[in-house]
Amino acid sequence: MGKVAAAVCTVAVCAAALVVVRRQMKSSGRWAKAEAILREMEDKCGAPTENLRQVADAMTAEMHAGLASDGGSKLKMLISFIDNLPTGDEKGLFYALDLGGTNFRVIRVQLGGKESTIRRESEEFSIPPHLMVGSSHELFDFIAGALAKFVATENEDFHVLPGKLRELGFTFSFPVRQLSIASGTLIKWTKGFHIEDAVGEDVVGELTKAMQRVGLDMRVAALINDTVGTLAGGKYNNPDVVAAVILGTGTNAAYIERTHAIPKWQGPLPKSGEMVINMEWGNFRSSHLPLTEYDQSLDAESLNPGEQIFEKLMSGMYLGEIVRRVLMRMAEEASFFGDNIPPKLHIPFIIRTPDMAAMHHDNSSDLKVVGCKLKDVLEVHNSSLKMRKMIVEICDIVASRGARLAAAGIFGILKKLGRNTVKDGEKQQRSVIAVDGGLFEHYTKFRNCLNRTLQELLGEDTAENIVTELSNDGSGTGAALLAASYSQYLQIEGSSS
Ligand code: ADP
Ligand code: MG
């Protein structure tokens, strides 16, 4: 090789080396920046125990305010008109219709009193997205149509007594101003529903009209919220149930309150001295909540800005979307995915909470599932292990914050009930929180974190007697049970005897 050629070669090698070094510098700078964004977010999402105690105290204070007067608090503390929960003596065939945020279920149960087990059948449908933002007429027609088809499949295991109408418990998981056990008006939509003409409407009236349109002769015996249904279903199975929490598309809680502790209740005092309260805790907010820029922008761009702040920190509809927003900032400011931002990452709600949970639960050494999700959801084909690890960490931070805040909310309810400590010299009553919802059921790391945090807040001695219990489809079965408790035929039989 001649001298010139050798020199050219050296220059080329040097230049190539320089490119590699530059790339490495760029890449390490990139990771450092991404790491900084992650740490900042971790810091802001932190929910240390002391902070959770403040959140719980704020929850208890808001509960008092909401019970004192309508409009007195961010917590509506809605009176459910349920003053008697099912006892187990109920008999007969009852239907339930459970309209949640993502799915709706139709259920029938044949109850035979304490001596016999419940016979139960159900079917689940997903709600077509266009019906969530269309007209109330269309939505109710769709629901009534599905119910009518389900009723048509009733076999001889189920029987309605001759001359009696089939009765239905309607679980409607949105804030309703209840007027009686079987009537109420919609206060507002949540969880991505937005049907203008339904707000202020008589929900049972709308459903009844739709049932008539499809030729279904059925009577709504009880209009309830999913939390109230879960409470009824939970207590039917376990008398120690004192409260119910939903962690699904949205979040909410209900509990059994003593009537004398509800100053705003003007009605007759029930014999039981108790009333189920639907807290609508999704709308809770407090200066103690660890809010970040991601939460602020999510809220501002949502269908209901300024509302449901507690819900937007922890429920299934939003957790994945928070993760997307963090990744978006990392992509923009730290070129986390390389020089280009993956186009799919721009699409709101593209990362669903089940995707997030799958990545978070990935136990493989090379985080295979994370790699697959990145490919399938964001069309990112060449993710490094380092990148995958950081994504799992983001999922962990977002899920842990939500789960810890949910635990703080439960702790607040227990405080309101005076069940958060062991009283001196007394044997502590057992308290069970019935929990329903796809998030709690399927997102194991979320559920474990919630349970751990609740124990942490209660302390070892008290924690022994306070547990959460998954109440799978408690809200649907509970609605059928409540239809039985509040059956018109019971009232007729009761008054004639
Ligand atoms: P709804 O809240 O509509 O009544 P569900 O209780 O079935 O319905 O909850 C559905 C929600 O639960 C989904 O929107 C999703 O956010 C969450 N979810 C379902 N499956 C999972 C999963 N595997 N991991 C995490 N979240 C899940
Ligand atoms: Mg539900």
Q: Label residues 169-196 b or e (16+ Cβ within 10 Å = b).
A: bbbbbbbbebeebbbbbbebbbbbbebe
Residues whose Cβ atom is located within 5 A of ion ligand 2: 100, 226, 248
Counting ligand 1 atoms within 8 A of each CB, the residue from 97, 98, 99, 102 with the most, and so the one to mutate, is: 102
318 three-state secondary structure: coil
Active site residues: 105, 173, 226
In-domain check, residue 323:
no
Nearest Cα neighbor of 38 from 321, 329, 249 is: 329
In-domain check, residue 104:
yes
Query: What is the DSSP secondary-structure string of 39-63?
Result: HHHHHHH---HHHHHHHHHHHHHHH
Q: Ligand 1, atom 22: nearest CA belongs to which residue? A: 354
Give me the phi and psi of 154, to 5 degrees please: -65, 130
Give all strands (DSSP E) within 194-320, no chain letters: 218-224, 241-247, 251-258, 274-278
In-domain check, residue 464:
no
> How far separated are the first and last CA of the chain, in Å rounded?
115
Cβ-contact 307, 284 below 8 angstroms: no
Reported as a single tens digit per residue, the pLDDT across 222-235 is 999 999 999 999 99
Point out the ligand 1 atom lying closest to the alpha carbon of residue 437: 6
Distance in angstroms (rounded) separating the CA atoms of residues 292 and 322 = 10
Domain that holds residue 152: 80-237+473-490
- pLDDT at 495 (0 to 100): 46
- pLDDT at 492 (0 to 100): 54
CA angle 101, 103, 109 (to 5 degrees): 115
Q: Given a cut of 90, is residue 167 above it in pLDDT?
A: yes
In-domain check, residue 157:
yes
Reported as a single tens digit per residue, the pLDDT across 8-62 is 556 556 565 555 555 565 677 889 999 999 999 999 999 999 999 999 999 999 9
CA of 11 to the centre of ligand 2 (A): 68
Q: Ligand 1, atom 24: nearest CA belongs to which residue? A: 354
Nearest Cα neighbor of 292 from 300, 281, 284, 282 is: 300
Point out the ligand 1 atom lying closest to the alpha carbon of residue 446: 25
Q: Given a cut of 80, is residue 253 above it in pLDDT?
A: yes
215: CATH: 3.30.420.40
Point out the ligand 1 atom lying closest to the alpha carbon of residue 250: 2
Domain count, the chain: 1
Q: Which ligand is nearest to the CA of 356?
A: 1
User: pTM here?
Assistant: 0.90
In-domain check, residue 161:
yes
Residue 318's contacts (CB-CB under 8 Å, 6 or more residues apart) are 298, 311, 312, 353
100 three-state secondary structure: coil
In-domain check, residue 123:
yes
Query: What proportion of the chain, given as a percentage, has pLDDT over 70?
Result: 93
Distance in angstroms (rounded) separating the CA atoms of residues 466 and 430 = 6
In-domain check, residue 139:
yes
In-domain check, residue 211:
yes
Cβ-contact 337, 388 below 8 angstroms: no
CA of 356 to the centre of ligand 1 (A): 12
**Residues with Cβ within 6 A of ligand 1?**
100-103, 248-249, 316-317, 353-354, 357, 437-439, 442-443
